[in-house]
Amino acid sequence: MPLQHLPRWIQFAMFILACNAGMVNVLGLLMVLHQSISHMTGNISLLAIHLWQHDFSQVFFLVSVLISFVLGAFYSGYILGNAQFSLSQRYGIPLVLVAIFIVLCWLFTPYFPRYALLWATVAMGMQNAMVSHYQGAIIRTTHLSGILTDLGLALGYFLRGLQVEKRRVILHLAILLGFLFGGLIATISFHYFNYHAFLIPALCSAVLSLIYWLHYWKQNSA
């Protein structure tokens, strides 16, 4: 299904969400555990490795990470009831929960760094499940495998002389660049603020939630 239109605010929203995920994932990687928390493919591979090595402490932790991500997606599905993007959905609720979960990660990191990251993993699962589709385009803001696949397909189609949906390419590039930009912000901020850098994506999620609620109330009071 082709994208009929792609408003700039959609591009901006996806860029910011991907930026948020890029920050959280890099902060997880820069922590002592070097744990990826915005996407789970690598964690499944690590789980297989540690199962073979009989490292059951690490197996338990990785299973906890996977369950946390699924729980985040579950919360999002329960709250929204639909992964198709629509402004009638109450995205302000999961966005503020994402902010709260990241703050909880920040609070517990000095004392339980290993399991503090589970809160951030729940946040990423919730964010990733908030919006899965927009006018037929599959959207994932916390990992890039699908985005890179679609960009590669578009390049292949273009070189064959086939029609390429420019709006879809723009959307995917916005997510890719947002994730990269977020990673750069996290790398720099971690150098200066250490784990306190988690407050940046928490603030970002809270601001997005506030912007959404202001728009939601304005639309419903008109």
Residue range 25-70, pLDDT digits in tens: 999 999 866 778 888 888 999 999 999 999 999 999 999 999 999 9
Under 8 Å between Cβ of 19 and 185: yes
Calculate the average pLDDT of the chain.
Answer: 87
- Give 74-83 pLDDT, tens digit per residue: 998 888 877 6
Coil, helix or strand at residue 40: coil
- Give 148-190 pLDDT, tens digit per residue: 998 999 999 999 989 888 888 988 999 999 999 999 999 999 9
Q: Is the dihedral of CA 53, 29, 60, 43 positive or negative?
A: negative
Residues above pLDDT 90, as percent of the chain = 57
Contacts of residue 168, defined as CB under 8 A and 6 or more positions apart, other chains included, come to 2, 3, 137, 150, 154
What is the pLDDT at residue 213? 85
Please give the backbone phi and psi of residue 60, each rounded to the nearest 5 degrees, phi first: -60, -45
What is the pLDDT at residue 85? 65
Q: pTM for the full model? A: 0.90
What is the pLDDT at residue 133? 57
8-221, CATH topology level: Growth Hormone; Chain: A; (1.20.1250)
b/e map 30-51, b = 16+ CB within 10 Å = bbeeebbbbbbeebeebbeebe
Q: Where are the domains of the chain?
A: 8-221
- In the chain, the largest separation of any two C-alpha atoms, in whole Å, equals 61
Contacts of residue 186, defined as CB under 8 A and 6 or more positions apart, other chains included, come to 22, 23, 24, 25, 26, 27, 30, 197, 200, 201
Coil, helix or strand at residue 86: coil
Tell me the CA distances in angstroms from 159 to 67, 155, 167, 204, one per residue in order: 42, 6, 18, 39
More confident residue, 187 or 87: 187
What is the pLDDT at residue 140? 78
